[in-house]
Structure 1
Amino acid sequence: MALRFHGMDPETQGNGSPTVWVDEEKRELVLQGWKPGEELLAAISTTEWVPGHAIGIPESEAVVRVPLRMAAMMRKALDDAERSGLL
């Protein structure tokens, strides 16, 4: 697996920090983040909050939370992937 590290949340001291990678083989953005709380999971599991989106989270998917302060590194990861011809 060809993961390229792009950054981690600068405010978490490196201990389980939300992190951003690009998987160059699968052409995917890979995010590590915090597990959602029960309130968010309940909202996702009981409401059709996006028209056409199934209620709940399929067994093959997960929800993570990342801070908005990481937006620039996520943009950079996507820009780098595009420059590398992955997009």
Structure 2
Amino acid sequence: MALRFFGKDPDTNGDDCPTVWVDDGTADMVLQGWKADEATEAECLSVGRIPDGEAVIRIPARMVPLVRKACDAAEQRSQLL
């Protein structure tokens, strides 16, 4: 697996912060974010369950440009697979 790094939350000290990658082998996006609080999870559960292998996370809005770049890269990569 080769993850292409797109960036960390620009408003943190760089440690333990939301991060965005794209897996070059699958074109999947890989996101590290803050665990959602119980109220957020409860609202998400109103439309379906959260399987054991999944998690609800938060990515700050200030990271939209990084996520957008990763989305574009993932889309381009998926066309090559």
Aligned to 1:86: 78
Aligned to 1:52: none
Structure 1 unaligned segments of length 5 or more: list them.
49-54
Shift of 1:62: 1.2
Q: Deviations over 1:12-46 (max 9, x none)?
A: 1112110000001121011000000011112223x
Aligned to 1:27: 27
Structure 1 residue ranges (4+ consecutive) displaced by more than 3 angstroms after TM superposition: none
Please say which structure displays the higher CA radius of gyration: 1
State how 1:63-74 maps to structure 2 within 5 Å.
63-74=56-67
- Structure with the higher fraction of residues in helix conformation: 2
Higher deviation after alignment, 22-31 or 71-80: 71-80
Tell me the percent identity.
49
State how 1:1-87 maps to structure 2 within 5 Å.
1-45=1-45, 47-48=46-47, 55-83=48-76, 85-87=77-79
Distance in 2 separating the partners of 1:24 and 1:41? 30
TM-score (norm 1): 0.80
TM-score (norm 2): 0.85
- Paired residues in the alignment total 79
Q: Which fold has the larger relative contact order, with Cα–Cα distance below 8 Å and residues 6 or more apart in sequence?
A: 2
User: What's the RMSD between the two structures over aligned residues?
Assistant: 1.5
